A = this chain, B = another copy of it.
Amino acid sequence: MADFALWTRTVQAGTEAALARALPAASLEPKRLHEAMRYVALGGGKRVRPMLVFAAAEAVGADNALTEAAAAAVELIHVYSLTHDDLPCMDNDDLRRGKPTCHVQYDETTALLVGDALQSAAFEMLAEAGAGAKLIALLARAAGSRGMCGGQAVDIASTGRQLNLAELEFMHIHKTGALIRAAVLLGALSGGALEDGRRAALEHFARCVGLAFQVMDDVLDAEADTATLGKTAGKDAAQGKATYLTLMSIKEARAYARELVADALTAIAPFGELGRRLGEISRFIVERQF
């Protein structure tokens, strides 16, 4: 895993550099907006989605400028969603990635516009790298009402209400799963067209990894402390959110996450050694402490 740790740091540094280059300088008008965009997008985050983009690209033997742009674009969509998610009318959170959230550090109006502008920046970045219409449509669908935004709407509507496993997974497949799927597919498609069987294998991998990621998020929210997480711990229970832990014990949830990862690993077996990074990421997801 030493090699994997080095690889993740390379992806993190590369993503940071790509975002730092792509986002307007804080010296450009409107300065406060640009400063706030850089505040939320730079200097933090596990960069799991960029890791998935690069690992999926590696699985098909691709690594080019489009891969890098796709990684940064997916992360921009993720960061915009966190910024809006933290707003008082959503989760009303004041800590993110170990720093005050955008509306706490700046103000609500700025946080709203930061999210809006980061979403535009994601599509600008992908388009400027010369991505084809199919890739851009894929990211837009993943971000929209039948993807991430739709999942957030279900999440908010479900607060304080008991969900069954099917309902909970519908929510997560949209809220976090859609963008994780987009990350894997964009990475692979940055190498060109994808044969149907390989695409289906990657989609199954992404679905399992997305759910495992969410199961572990719920476990960590219950187990870890705020300092380790870099965001407020114990928040889900306090807000009456539906989580895996309303349906199973922590022990069962960890076992379920491991099962999902085993399923993910089976899905990518046909990629052989080229799929190694994807496998490492899926194991990292169940072993992470933050």
Cβ contact within 8 Å between A133 and B128: yes
Q: In the docked arrangement, what's the CA distance between A51 and B289, Å?
A: 54
Cβ contact within 8 Å between B134 and A127: yes
Cβ contact within 8 Å between A33 and B90: no
A136 interfacial by beta-carbon distance below 8 Å: yes
Indicate which residue in B32, B129, B145 contacts A121 across the interface (CB closer than 8 Å).
Answer: B145
Cβ contact within 8 Å between A146 and B28: yes
Contact residues of A between 128 and 154, Cβ < 8 Å to B: 128-134, 136-137, 139-141, 143-147, 149-150, 152-154
Cβ contact within 8 Å between A145 and B34: yes
Q: In the docked arrangement, what's the CA distance between A153 and B170, Å?
A: 36
Q: In the docked arrangement, what's the CA distance between A145 and B145, Å?
A: 23
Q: In the docked arrangement, what's the CA distance between A24 and B109, Å?
A: 28
Please choose the segment from A2-10, A111-119, A197-205, A279-287 that sits at the chain B interface, where 4 or more of its residues have CB less than 8 A away.
Answer: A111-119
Given contacts A116-B115, A128-B133, A133-B136, contact A153 B32 (CB under 8 A): yes
Q: In the docked arrangement, what's the CA distance between A131 and B84, Å?
A: 29
Kindly supply a per-residue 1/0 record for chain A positions 156-171, scoring 1 wherever the CB is within 8 Å of any chain B CB and 0 otherwise: 1100000000000010
Report the minimal beta-carbon distance from A50 to chain B, rounded to whole angstroms: 20
- Residue of B with least CB distance to A28: B146
Indicate which residue in B120, B139, B153 contacts A113 across the interface (CB closer than 8 Å).
Answer: B153
Cβ contact within 8 Å between A140 and B112: no
Query: Which residues of chain B are within 8 angstroms of A238 by Cβ–Cβ distance?
Result: none
Query: Which residues of chain B are within 8 angstroms of A134 by Cβ–Cβ distance?
Result: 127
A232 interfacial by beta-carbon distance below 8 Å: no
A123 interfacial by beta-carbon distance below 8 Å: yes
Contact residues of A between 71 and 109, Cβ < 8 Å to B: 80-81, 84, 87, 89-90, 107-109
Query: Which residues of chain B are within 8 angstroms of A121 by Cβ–Cβ distance?
Result: 140, 144-145
Using a CB–CB cutoff of 8 Å, the interface residues on chain A facing chain B are 24, 28-30, 32-34, 37, 80-81, 84, 87, 89-90, 107-110, 112-113, 115-117, 119-121, 123-124, 127-134, 136-137, 139-141, 143-147, 149-150, 152-154, 156-157, 170
Question: What are 11 pairs between A and B in contact, CB < 8 Å?
Answer: A24-B145, A30-B145, A34-B145, A81-B116, A117-B150, A119-B119, A120-B144, A121-B144, A121-B145, A127-B137, A130-B133
